[in-house]
Amino acid sequence: MRTVRFLPPTLLSLLAAVAAPGDDTNPAAEAPIELATLEITAHPTGADERTAAVWVQRPDVSERPTSVGGLLNQIPGVHVDRAGGAGGRSTLYLRGGEENHTLVLLDGVPLNDPTNSRGGGVDLSLIDPAAVDSLALVRGPASMRHGPEAISGVLHLDTSAHVAPGHTAAIEGGGDGLGRAAFRSTLALGHDGDTATLGGTWHTEDAANDAGGLDRVFLHGGFHHAGPLEFSLQAWHLDN
């Protein structure tokens, strides 16, 4: 014997509504979902430090601080100490270590001097932030790669010798004798991607103040070869 069961009309209507295809004429059903933009910044020096906590930052030209310490103060967990006025010594303390426990590299060149009386700590007030195109702070010991100076971490400062060809210039002034000027010019050499860069900064602040004024001139130049054998040549001059 075969048993036949009939479904109620209400249940049949619900099943038909579920099985029916969507209305293609409804614009709300076809509206794309826009996700937030995810910005990825490459390591400025290309160093293979993927196992460490790396903070990469590109300074905003319109809001560029007057010191490298001002750039670092925007990074969580970093303490920059400055003694005296604008020209006072500025040092970096990372992860509770001493000032000589962080290795500072300018375009890959170490600035720490273990023979000085401070034990190798770098005075960041000697570097004009207008010359820094990007920086990367590596937290954690990196002695295996960089030597015993990198107990607390490594600070990479990049002046970008291989930036795109172009010219920039800026000048500003303010109270307390503040005056700043900066320029950078990058020229393309030939059709192989070679570039030559020349830049400079001038910064004065409280220069007549015996308690700690600043009068600094920083010049930098470079040549970048982008062929199969890629290399860069850098030169800096500081009068502080």
* Predicted pLDDT of residue 106: 84
- Of 59 and 230, the structure prediction assigns the larger pLDDT to 230
Write down the residue that tokens 């103040």 correspond to.
209
In this predicted structure, the answer to whether residue 3 has a pLDDT above a threshold of 60 is: no
Q: Residue 161 — pLDDT band, cuts 50, 70, 90?
A: low
- Of 6 and 216, the structure prediction assigns the larger pLDDT to 216
Helical segments of the chain, H only: 9-19, 27-30, 68-72, 143-146
CA dihedral (179, 180, 181, 184) in degrees, to 10, reads 170
Calculate mean pLDDT across residues 167-194.
83
Beta-bridge mates of residue 178: 174
Integer Cα distance of 105 and 122 in angstroms: 10
* Predicted pLDDT of residue 129: 79
pTM over 0.75: no
Mean pLDDT (the chain) is 75
Contact 111, 119 (CB under 8 A): no
Integer Cα distance of 128 and 215 in angstroms: 11
**How many residues are listed for the chain in this entry?**
240
* Predicted pLDDT of residue 177: 80
* Predicted pLDDT of residue 23: 52
Calculate mean pLDDT across residues 212-225.
83
Structural domains in the chain?
A: 53-158 (2.170.130.10), 166-239 (no CATH)
In this predicted structure, the answer to whether residue 181 has a pLDDT above a threshold of 60 is: yes
Residue 29: phi and psi, rounded to 5, are: -75, -20
Calculate mean pLDDT across residues 148-159.
81
Calculate mean pLDDT across residues 10-16.
52
* Predicted pLDDT of residue 203: 84
DSSP state of 63: G
pLDDT tens column, 38-78: 766 665 555 555 556 777 777 665 566 677 887 887 787 78
Of all residues in the chain, the percent with pLDDT exceeding 90 is 0
Token couple for 27? 């614009």
